[in-house]
Structure 1
Amino acid sequence: MTADLYAESGEFIDVFSRDAWQAFRPPVVAALHRAVPDQGPFLDIGAGTGLGTLLVAETLPSAEIVAVEPSPILRAVLLSRLAGSESLRPRVTVIAAGIQDWQSPARLGGVLAMNMLGHLDPEQRRRLWAELRARLAPSAPLIVNLQPPAEVTTVPPTTFASITVGGRTYQGGGEARPAGDGTVTWTMRYRTLTPDGSVERDLVVAYPWHVVSPAELLDELAGAGFTATVGELDVVVATPRG
């Protein structure tokens, strides 16, 4: 298994993802209503701390869910959520692997893959689309999202989120710089501030991100046999063609 990219920053991911998932909720829920859970389990790729998994479970109360997440620290939060829920514990299975290292069930009633495409290079993405096309039930949705940048470029330093919990304020931000070969390097900064504004902790981490544009993603999906559209907040919904 590859190194955990979130080994240092994982404690902040759930805190800073909540507002984003609230924004994603309408387009993702609309797409989830097209799932066919009676024809196979629902697959959540890169489930992270489980915010998307919870949305799937809420929207599809009869679905069996398989949540695939390679990061131990993110998976710990996900498992804690599931263990504390009498209703979720029997129907969500957590897989400790990257999607490229694990073979999914032969039939799927739908797939969610949010906030994770940049972790896959073009060849890994194409293999994934081909495998999902072969396993998705007719009309079952594949739900993914595009994340900036859409091309290899510089993204200036930006603060993405700030939240106060008790007597500490947590800030998250980052910047991206071209790294060649269709990738950028994201340098993320997480700061913990005391009530007087002093910096108590200052964590900087960097990781590569494979850039994919809307046109490139739609071409890949079409080549794999999907019909796909880009919707609100760059949420892409694809279904097997014919």
Structure 2
Amino acid sequence: MARILADAQLRSRVTVHPADIAQAQLPAGIDVALACGCIGFFDPPTRRALWPRLAAALAPAGVVLVDVMPLDRPQSIPESQVADVQVGRHRYQIWLGGQPAGADPELVRWRTRFGQSDGDMQIRSFTIERDWRAFGLDTVLDEAAAAGFTAERLADIPVPAALLRLA
């Protein structure tokens, strides 16, 4: 959302709806759909139901950009700092770690800690935990293929990703 707010061209072309993907009404004629950084939040039935809906909503030359985390199964991810940035007088820090979450064979529970400080004084600190389904890009491509999509895997990027087009 921050990128959209900062870019006048995006603001004139992008609409963000306040609905989850299972309930969202997709408009017809979508040129580009992004499923980046989010697909692991969807349970398998929601994910499988998404592809036919996108296929019906895409413009004839439309594409879907999809990515997954570089984890194809739950595993322990030791906490590490992923950001440490000075913005004005404040320093913002983010740490991320994860653990398998219970009996579900796909779930990883991610723990993200955020900190904001002004010199030695901590202004705020909070933690968010979220469950993520870990699976490989092949799972997504198989589900999308069942809805008529072909995939072009993208190389030389930090996470597994593909462009989907209708066959």
Partner Cα distance (2:21, 2:38) in 1: 11
1:123 deviates by: 1.1
| Cα distance in 2 between the residues matched to 1:50 and 1:194 | 23
Is residue 111–residue 127 contact of structure 2 (8 Å, CA) maintained in 1? yes
Deviation at 1:120, TM superposition (A): 0.8
Number of the residue aligned with 2:166:
240
Q: Is the 8 A contact 2:137 2:161 kept in 1?
A: no
Relative distance call for 1:148 and 1:193 in structure 2 (3 A) is farther
Q: Which residue of 1 aligns with 2:108?
A: 184
User: Are 1:158 and 2:84 matched, yes or no?
Assistant: no
Tell me: higher relative CO, structure 1 or 2? Use CA pairs within 8 A at least 6 residues apart.
Answer: 2
What are the residue-to-residue correspondences of 1:202-217 with 2, within 5 Å?
202-217=125-140
Aligned length: 162
2:53 to 121, 131, 137: 131
Give the counterpart letter for 1:224 in structure 2.
A
The aligned counterpart of 2:35 is 113
**1:88/1:132 Cα in 2 relative to 1: closer, same or farther (>3 Å)?**
closer
Q: Which amino acid aligns with 1:174?
A: L
CA contact (8 A) 1:214 1:230 kept: no
CA shift, 1:229, in A, is: 2.8
What residue number does 2:117 align with? 193
- Distance change (3 Å), C-alpha of 1:166 and 1:113: same
2:148 pairs with 217, 225, 241, which one? 225
Misfit runs of 4+, over 6 Å: none
State the Cα RMSD in Å.
2.1
Distance 1:148 1:139 in 2: 28
Q: Deviations over 1:195-215 (max 9, x none)?
A: 24x544321111111222122
Identical amino acids, percent of aligned pairs: 32
Which structure: greater helix fraction? 1
Provide Cα deviations, 1:82-105, integer angstroms capped at 9, x if missing partner: 7xx4x6655443321112111211
- The correspondence for 2:89, drawn from 163, 167, 177, is 167
Partners of 1:119 and 1:209 within 8 A in 2: yes
- Cα deviation per residue 1:172-203 (whole Å; 9 max; x = unaligned)? 1111111132111111101123324x544321
- In the alignment, what sits opposite 1:22? none
Residue type at the aligned position of 1:140: G
How far apart, in 2, do the equivalents of 1:185 and 1:229 lie? Answer: 30
Distance 1:149 1:89, change over 3 A: closer
How far apart are the structure 2 equivalents of 1:137 and 1:89?
A: 21
- Larger strand proportion, structure 1 or 2? 2
Match of 2:25 among 70, 91, 103: 103
Q: 5+ unaligned residues in a row in structure 2: which ranges?
A: none
The DSSP-based 3-state class of the residue aligned with 1:140 is strand
